[in-house]
Structure 1
Amino acid sequence: MSTEHTLESDLFLNRLAKADAWKNAIIDLNGGSLPVILSFGQLDELSDRAAQGLIDRGVEEGDNVAYLLPNGWEFVVLTIAIWKAGAVACPMLPALREREIPFVMRKSKSKLLFVPEEFRNLRYGELVESIRSELPGMRSLITIKLGKPLNRKSSLGGLAEREPVVSQLAQRRPKSASASQLLFTSGTTGEPKGVIHTHGTLSNGVAAHVQTLGLTSMDQIWIPSPMAHQTGFLYGMSLALYLGATQICQAIWNTETARFAIEQYGATFVQAAMPFLADLTRESETPRGLRLFIATGAPVPRQLAQVASKRLACKVVGGWGSTESCMISVGSVRAYGEESWNSDGQVIAGREMKVTDEEGRTLPPGQEGLFKVKTPAMFIGYLDHPEWYEAAVDAEGFFNTGDLAVIDERGNLRLTGRVKDIINRGGVKVPVTEVENLLYQMEELHDVAVVGMPDPRLNERICAYVSLKNPNSTIGLDKLTDYLKVQGVTKMYWPERLEIIPEMPRTTTGKIQKYVLRQMITDKLNPNYH
């Protein structure tokens, strides 16, 4: 199947219509030992009714519909209902609060907001009511009681109470070029960007992944990554819909539920960030049954990938993608070997990637530069900011990712850091990711992040933040530098300061928030720096 063009038959709703109506579509583990299970037939019927509910509540074609829900059957049904109503899915992470919710609502102009009645001991309805004055465009707040769908009329806050008008839904059926998703990036600095995808771009992104990895409807897709993030939304929920495969939803991360997903319900595939992989690998008895773990979202320490593939008895491969471009590269699963996990993969069919200098000239293999990509799964714009799109995507259609990378002679991609994460020590650019990967191999260290700290003479010096496997122990800077010396790392790349913290600040998708660490060390050295 070619991934150059997206066929209407490959769109998620059209694939869903062909799924086995009696097959399990969703296994929602959030109820513990008694999961909620929906068949594809039930999913189709319930989403039809919910789509009618959206139309009855004034949702027009092309409207953005905002919802803040954890992973679960409610998220899946509502997303499909939004699409069936001809509208655009605008999911929010459950971790968002008083500052972020009004921002997304104002930018998206959503008339409705769906929230859980309660999740993780927070009553979201009360939270939203407390900031209602900041939501002038919101017509209705719909609270959803999470759990089993007792009956169709009460499901999803009453959204599914009415039989659908088939002719209305048929008129709203989206096309390949119809907007499908508005997803706000969890930016570490500046205003979050509203990334717009179509049904065609997202379907293309999934189709290429399926072809490259050899996934089938027999796979069981486990989703511990937030569905309101592209990893869980596209390479969890949407991937399962595309395949007609069962998806296993996990809303709150813990390794016991993960073990349940793998050993009890037969999860075979997962795409998730490094912390999920690390936690499973560190279990005294690792769960067995996974076939493939795609590690994305942040650079994965190569030592971890190697150990995890042995302990979990599955293939662990690296990969790179972004909210804007979907997946661009992934390690080989057919010719599985060291390069599958010891890099960020090779380019996926139908995509292009290159490394350039600051003037846009393509660099030869082995040289570090700006990482740029081109794909038929590319987003179509940033909400309200066409100038951002014009600055990010050049005339040839290449997207400047903001990452630094090296592509070797064999076509293996290695991300070396973010442009904004560069440590400029007296004119010397420090290979942050390489240093972190080496330090991660030290027995005493649980997590590592290397950041720049301000220096009046050199502009920046190198600070290593670490958390320890044994929180009651300690470690000195000299032990880190001695280790790097043995590894053959030049002294100019050694950390010059060590900060030990209990745990790293992270986004909800597992990325270490380096801007928080940089601010922490800046404040500690001199509060007047900012």
Structure 2
Amino acid sequence: MLFLNRFDMANPRRPAVVDLSAPKTTVLSFRELNRLADRAAQGLIRLGVERGENVAYLLPNGWEFVVLTLAIWKIGAVACPMLPALREREIPFIMNKSKSKVLIIPAEHRGYRYRPLIESIRSELPGLQALIEIEARDPNDSKTCLGGLASEEPDLDRIASRRPGAGEAAQLLFTSGTTGEPKGVIHTHGTLAHGCSAHAHGLGLTSEDTIWIPSPMAHQTGFLYGMSLALYLGAKQVCQGHWDAGTARVAIEEHGATFVQAAMPFLADLTREEQPPKGLRIFIATGAPVPRKLAQEAKDRLSCKVAGGWGSTESCMISVGSVREYSDFSWNSDGQVIAGREMKVTDEDGRALPPGREGLFKVRTPAMFTAYLDHPEWYEAAVDADGFFNTGDLAVIDEFGNVRLTGRVKDVINRGGVKIPVAELENLLYQFEPIKDAAVIGMPDPRLGERICAYVTLMNPEQTIGLEDVTSYLKSQGVTKIYWPERVEVIGDMPRTTTGKIQKYVLRNWITDKLESERHGT
């Protein structure tokens, strides 16, 4: 069943959105949410937005994001959200690719004002016809909230006539760009609904759960497995506009959050609180493998079920650790296949590999994206004739059906013909007491092609460690010498995407530049 149909079935009196992003917490019932969405839909029609057109909005998590998404969907348009961290390089790219004639921005977010930025790049946005700036945030003032989009009474018959079907586009989401040019991923109302329904059923989520959303709603984790999941369930969602552990505590202990799906840094920060908040029922950790040590600590300190999972912008969630039959496998792997999905590991020629063998990770699902914007050749290269999507990841599936992602194909280190087990090394380094985060990358070498470099951050910034400390530790763990890093770089913070993924291409660029400088003595 599609989101709008499920939304219609929600109890109108129940709380739908709790927004913690403003100085004063905002709470909307499902009735109030629907009323605002209808008014905003009328505003979009007034601006000339047609069925099937992309509508771009650059907003943090909050009630406005939820209302606008529903409004866009109600008139058969396509949601094209952008992360608030995007600036003059990315915004023109997405606006011109999407051909959105509308851009909706906040007046200010975390001290940054967006209108001067947009005005400075206006010449690069030839298709932009309407810039909507959201300043007033009182949902009860329909004349000024949502930048005036909700100022008119809605023509409900006209809005209803534009209600989309399952096969119509619902979302245009650009990949985070950890490597190369961002890809515009297109999902339909049907594929997104499939992505939510099977996940919710597998985890046993109901309208009685409260969905906490610290992940950006402009990323698939926050959009689909936060906001949309809550709408699908008819459940309350708690929106956190930016990350801090204090607000997280409020979401969990004061507003009753029971479920969250978020990246590993969120889990680590909560677990490392002196008194971790209690009340969560399920934490699904995605975006990067969860080190075993952290998963065990989180399970104990948060008193909730911590499970791993894997999904992508293109495929939605494919696997998740069981919370119904909870065991160590739930958190020390990337889970088991979700009902109705398929996954396999193959060699480079497409032959399926037996359990325990590492290979290319491929998936098939009814929640699969339908196209890459303007690039049908990318879709043809990524999805084979049988409908299996080549994720670009390496994985191992064991005899029990648990999948473990072992790295990106592009992250493989080939040291003189020896393939280095990157994920295993990173997991071990994470268990080394002084280390907070670790990323193992290949650095260029004229003789071997690549050598092994470990970038690390430390628990105590005043402390330092060197190569000998790391290799001695790995030796004590029984790691063969050919897998030891040959260089250790200690840094303050890992470069990450806004959703918590370590940007290894940035680290590779750093070490390449550093080696070049050392070679020339600069």
Report TM bin, short chain: over 0.9
In structure 2, relative to structure 1, the CA distance for the partners of 1:378 and 1:146 (3 Å cut) is farther
Q: Is the 8 A contact 1:275 1:510 kept in 2?
A: yes
Evaluate the alpha carbon distance shift between residue 243 and residue 423 of structure 1 in structure 2; reply closer, same or farther with a 3 A threshold.
Answer: same
Candidates 16, 31, 35, aligned match of 1:25: 16
Cross-structure match for 1:336: 326
1:312 to 2:302 alignment: yes
Q: Using the alignment, how far apart are the partners of 2:182 and 2:493 within structure 1?
A: 25
Distance 1:527 1:138 in 2: 44
> Once the two structures are aligned, what percentage of the paired residues are identical?
73
Work out the CA distance in 1 between the residues paired with 2:139 and 2:115: 20
Does 2:150 match 1:193? no
Task: Tell me which of 379, 397, 404 is aligned to 1:389.
Answer: 379
Shift of 1:150: 4.1
Q: 2:441 aligns with which of 445, 451, 455?
A: 451
Does the 8 Å CA contact 1:118/1:146 hold for their aligned counterparts?
no
* Structure 2 CA distance for aligned equivalents of residues 528 and 186 of structure 1: 32
Matching residue of 2:192: 202
Query: Retained in 2: the 8 A contact 1:29–1:36?
Result: yes
Q: Please name the residue that 1:265 is paired with.
A: 255
Find the counterpart in structure 2 of residue 297 from structure 1: 287
1:12 aligned onto 2:3: yes
Letter of the 1:315 partner, please give it: K
- State the alpha-carbon separation in 2 of the partners of residues 17 and 145 from structure 1: 29
Instruction: Describe the SS at the equivalent of 1:37.
Output: strand
Gaps of 5+ in 2: none
Instruction: Describe the superposition over 1:314-361 as per-residue Cα deviations: whole angstroms up to 9, x where unpaired.
Output: 000000000000000000101111000010000000000000000000
Please say if residues 136 and 147 of structure 2, whose CA atoms lie closer than 8 Å, have aligned partners that are also in contact. Answer: no
Show the counterpart of 1:441. Answer: 431
Tell me, yes or no, if the aligned pair for 1:220 and 1:269 is still in contact at 8 Å.
yes
- 1:74–1:146 contact (8 Å) kept in structure 2: no
Partner of 1:424: 414
205-214 vs 145-154, which deviates more? 145-154
Structure 2 match to 1:4:
none
Deviations 1:11-44 (CA, angstroms, capped at 9, x unpaired): 1011111111110000000124x31000000000
Maintained 8 Å contact 2:290/2:332: no
Contact 2:454/2:485 (CA < 8 Å) preserved in 1? Answer: yes
The alpha-carbon deviation at position 146 of structure 1 amounts to 5.7
2:346 to 345, 348, 356: 356
In structure 2, the partner of 1:515 is 505
Matched letter for residue 275 of structure 1 = P
**Is 1:177 the equivalent of 2:167?**
yes
Instruction: Give the Å deviation of 1:190.
Output: 2.0
- Asked if 1:490 corresponds to 2:480, the answer is yes
Matched, 1:365 2:363: no
Q: Counterparts in 2 of 1:205-284, with a 5 A limit?
A: 205-284=195-274
- Name the CA distance, whole Å, in 2 between partners of 1:456 and 1:122: 45
Deviations 1:409-451 (A, max 9, x none): 0000000000000011001111101100011001101110101
Task: Give the structure 2 partner of residue 153 of structure 1.
Answer: 143
What is the distance in 1 between the residues matched to 2:251 and 2:287?
Answer: 21
| Mapping 1:463-478, distance limit 5 Å | 463-478=453-468
Matching residue of 2:516: 526
Aligned to 1:125: 115
5 Å-filtered alignment, 1:107-118, equals 107-118=97-108
Find the aligned partners of 2:518 and 2:453 in 1 and give their Cα distance.
19
Does the 8 Å contact 1:112/1:140 carry over to 2?
A: yes
Q: Please say if residues 367 and 406 of structure 1, whose CA atoms lie closer than 8 Å, have aligned partners that are also in contact.
A: yes
Q: One-letter code of the match for 1:134?
A: E
CA contact (8 A) 1:505 1:512 kept: yes
Note if contact 1:116-1:146 (Cα within 8 Å) is conserved in structure 2: no
SS in structure 2 opposite 1:86? coil
Spell out, residue by residue over 1:389-423, the C-alpha distance to the aligned partner (whole angstroms, 9 max, x if none).
00000000000000000000000000000000001
Query: What is the alpha-carbon distance in structure 2 between the residues aligned to residue 174 and residue 104 of structure 1?
Result: 24
1:161-201 C-alpha deviation (Å, 9 max, x unpaired)? 11111221111001000100000001123211000000000
What is the CA deviation profile of residues 355-388 of structure 1, one whole-angstrom value per residue up to 9, with x for unaligned ones?
0000000000000000000000000000000000
- Which of residues 58, 61, 69 in structure 1 aligns to 2:48? 58
- Please state whether the residue corresponding to 2:49 is helix, strand or coil: coil
Q: How far, CA to CA, are the matches of 1:314 and 1:117 in structure 2?
A: 38
TM-score by length of 2: 0.98
Confirm or deny: 8 A CA contact 1:88 1:180 kept in the other structure: yes
Query: Which residue number corresponds to residue 285 of structure 1?
Result: 275
How far apart in 2 are the matches of 1:497 and 1:190?
A: 26
CA–CA distance in 2 between the matches of 1:253 and 1:452? Answer: 31
Q: Aligned-pair distance for 1:80?
A: 0.4
Alpha-carbon distance, 1:481 to partner: 1.0
5+ residue gaps in structure 1?
1-9
Q: Does the C-alpha gap of structure 1 residues 168 and 432 become closer, same or farther in structure 2, counting only changes over 3 Å?
A: same
Give 3-state SS (helix, strand or coil) of 2:178's partner: coil
Root-mean-square deviation over aligned CA pairs: 1.0
| Misfit runs of 4+, over 6 Å | none
Q: How far apart are the structure 2 equivalents of 1:460 and 1:148? A: 56
Size of the alignment, in residue pairs?
519
The 3-state SS of whatever aligns with 2:478 is: coil
3-state SS of paired residue (2:109): coil
Matched, 1:39 2:34: no
Residue 84 of structure 1 corresponds to which residue in structure 2? 74
- 1:192-243 C-alpha deviation (Å, 9 max, x unpaired): 1000000000000000001100000000000000000000000000000000
**1:3 paired residue number:** none
Structure 2 match to 1:413: 403
Q: Is the 8 A contact 2:57 2:103 kept in 1?
A: yes
Aligned partner letter, 2:13:
W
8 A Cα contact 2:282 2:306, kept in partner:
yes
Question: After the TM superposition, which of the residue ranges 62-71 and 152-161 deviates more from structure 2?
Answer: 152-161
Aligned-pair distance for 1:479? 1.5
Q: C-alpha separation between the residues in 2 aligned to 1:150 and 1:178?
A: 32
Aligned to 1:6: none
Structure 1 CA distance, aligned partners of 2:229 and 2:139? 24
TM-score, L = length of structure 1: 0.97
CA distance in 1, matches of 2:432, 2:90: 38
Say whether the 8 Å CA contact 1:455–1:461 is kept in structure 2. yes
User: Shift of residue 120 of structure 1?
Assistant: 1.1
Question: Contact 1:319–1:331 at 8 Å: present in 2 too?
Answer: yes
SS in 2 for 1:327: strand
* SS of 2:187 mapped into structure 1: strand
Q: Distance in 1 between matches of 2:33 and 2:140?
A: 14
Within 5 Å, give how 1:135-150 maps onto structure 2: 135-145=125-135, 147-150=137-140
1:7 paired residue number: none
**Deviation, structure 1 residue 147:** 3.0
Paired residue for 2:364, among 368, 371, 374? 374
